[in-house]
Amino acid sequence: MLEAGAEAPDFEVRDHTGQLVRLSQYRGKSVVLWFYPKADTPGCTAEGCGFRDRIKLYDDKNVQVLGISFDTPPDQAVFAQKFGFNFPLLSDATREVGLAYGAADDSSAQYAKRISYLIDPEGRVKKAYPKVNAAAHPEEILADL
């Protein structure tokens, strides 16, 4: 995993609506980049709903939430619609972002590791979360802001 103080690697991937998203477009805001193994599975749903239910608190602190997994944009779209997610779900089907951030050991990884990063407004890692309790994590990050 990346360590606190490291520059967060920029990336460009599609979100659940098909739009291209770059990490660098969020400069000036903090970013929560949360990797999850698989769309529409119990832990990932609990974590996503936790962020969804607290999105106003994140917005008030000038924080952009970005979920990311190896699912395709159509799979992410179904997941986002089913649970009313109010933040982008990113598709890292090539595993390039997962490899850069330590969420995958190699390009053949079937699922992303459940890890997260808090990235500061200048694009540096403020905090890395190598072990995440899916249900408690959205509140944990709020406490760290």
**CATH number of domain containing 135:** 3.40.30.10
Task: State the average pLDDT over residues 117-144.
Answer: 97
Q: Is residue 5 part of a domain?
A: no
72 φ, ψ (degrees, to nearest 5): -75, 160
Q: What is the pLDDT of residues 127-136, one digit of tens each?
A: 999 999 999 9
d(CA 8, CA 92): 16
Count of the separate structural domains present in the chain:
1
Report if pTM > 0.95. yes
Active site residues: 44
Do 132 and 43 contact (CB within 8 A), yes or no? no
Beta bridge partners of 103: none
Q: Is residue 103 part of a domain?
A: yes
Q: Is residue 4 part of a domain?
A: no
Query: CB count, 10 Å around CB of 112?
Result: 23
pLDDT band of 47, cuts 50, 70, 90? very high
pLDDT band of 10, cuts 50, 70, 90? very high
Q: What pLDDT is stored for residue 131 in this prediction?
A: 92
If you average pLDDT over every residue of the chain, what do you get? 97
Q: Report percent pLDDT > 70 for the chain.
A: 100
Do 48 and 71 contact (CB within 8 A), yes or no? no
